């Protein structure tokens, strides 16, 4: 998880990146890692977890990572969870829980990582949350924070329904 935090911190300094880091480990070896590159690549699927899986695919020349563990600084969204399921990841370990961070980091209100896993045809997948949670949560705006509107890419331009600038 500490490596994922370091990647998140590096990503935060990169242009257009949210501070999310992910590491994919198989048999004790890092096979892929990355940070959020959505803004940098203008690619809505370039979440840290997906970037790490793409790197693992390039490294292993395989599309599946059976038995691997995915570490992420933030609870994975639905897209990243489903990609993990399709990739054969056996375990997801994440730091900050969605209730520890501002809502802008998630597109949905109610879907939880476990909802996707529970509905998948996978009985062997495990999820462990809250690992180094305080360190990970410190990377993000908190639930009560008032982040600048331009930082809130996942929220509508004006949530009040009134005119925008």
DSSP 130: -
pLDDT at residue 165 greater than cutoff 50: no
Confidence at 153, pLDDT banded by 50, 70, 90? low
Buried b (16+ CB within 10 A) or exposed e, 117-155: beeeebeebebebebbbeebbebbbeeeeeeeeeebeee
Identify the residue with better confidence: 17 or 124: 124
The span from the CA of 147 to the CA of 68, in Å, is 35
What are the residue numbers of the active site? 49
pLDDT tens, residue by residue, 67-114: 999 999 999 988 999 999 999 999 999 999 888 887 777 666 566 667
């Amino acid at each position: 998880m500490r490596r994922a935090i370091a990647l998140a911190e590096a990503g935060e300094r990169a242009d257009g990146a949210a501070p999310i880091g992910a590491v994919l480990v198989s048999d004790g070896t890092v096979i892929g890692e990355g940070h959020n590159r959505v803004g940098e690549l203008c690619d809505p699927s370039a979440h840290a977890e997906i970037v790490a899986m793409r790197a693992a695919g390039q490294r292993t020349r395989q599309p599946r990572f059976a038995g691997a563990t995915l570490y992420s600084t933030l609870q994975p969204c639905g897209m990243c969870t489903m990609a993990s399921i399709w990739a054969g990841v056996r375990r997801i370990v994440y730091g900050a829980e969605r209730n520890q961070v501002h809502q802008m980091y998630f597109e949905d209100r109610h879907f939880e990582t476990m909802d996707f896993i529970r509905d998948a045809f996978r009985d062997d997948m495990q999820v462990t949350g809250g690992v180094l949670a305080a360190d990970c949560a410190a990377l993000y705006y908190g639930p009560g924070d008032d982040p600048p509107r331009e930082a809130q890419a996942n929220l509508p331009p004006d949530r009040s329904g009134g005119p925008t600038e």
